[in-house]
Amino acid sequence: MSSSRPPFTTACGSQFVREHLCVEPRQLPRQHAPGSVEETLAQLVKSAAVQLDALAAEFASRAQSAAVDLTRVATGKALINSLGVLQNSATAIDILAARRADAMAHLKELVNAYQYVTAHEAATRKHTPQAANLKAPPEPPSSRPGPRR
C-alpha cells in the first residue's frame, strides 16, 4: 500500500456527515423537535450514513479477502479454482462498489436537503422571532356569524 494514498475508511458515511454537518449521525435527530420535518430528515441522513458505512465495510472485507486469495495464488501457495471463485468475487466486489457509490450519492442528496431545510427554518425564525409565541389574531367583528334568530 502506497503511503501517498489516503487510507480507506469504512465509516465514509459517518465521516461525510461529520465533515458537512459537524455532528455525529446518531446525534443529528436529537437536535430537532420529535416529529418535525427537520427531525425526519435527520433520521434519513442518519440511516443513509449507517447504510453507507455498512456497505463500505462489506466492500472492504470482500476486497481484502480477494486480495489474500490472489496473493496466495501469486506466491504459489494456492491454485486458482477452475469454477470461477475469483470471477464471482470480482462480480460481488463490483456490485458492492456500485451500491456504495449509489449510497454515497443518496447521502449527499439527503445532506443537501437537510442543510436547505434547516437553513430555511433558521432564516424563518430569524425574521419572525416571536412567531412561535403569537396567537392567531382575533377575527374582526364583521366576519363573526351573528346570533341566530
DSSP-assigned letters across all residues of 39-79? HHHHHHHHHHHHHHHHHHHHHHHHHHHHHHHHHHHHTTSS-
pLDDT of the chain along its 149 residues, tens only?
Answer: 444 544 556 789 999 999 999 999 999 999 999 999 999 999 999 999 999 999 999 999 999 988 888 888 788 887 776 556 677 888 999 999 999 999 999 999 999 999 999 998 777 777 665 544 444 444 544 544 555 54
Q: Is-above-0.85 flag for pTM? A: no
Q: What is residue 105's three-state secondary structure?
A: helix
The DSSP element (H or E) to which 109 belongs, if any, is helix 85-127
Rounded CA-CA distance 54/136 in Å is 48
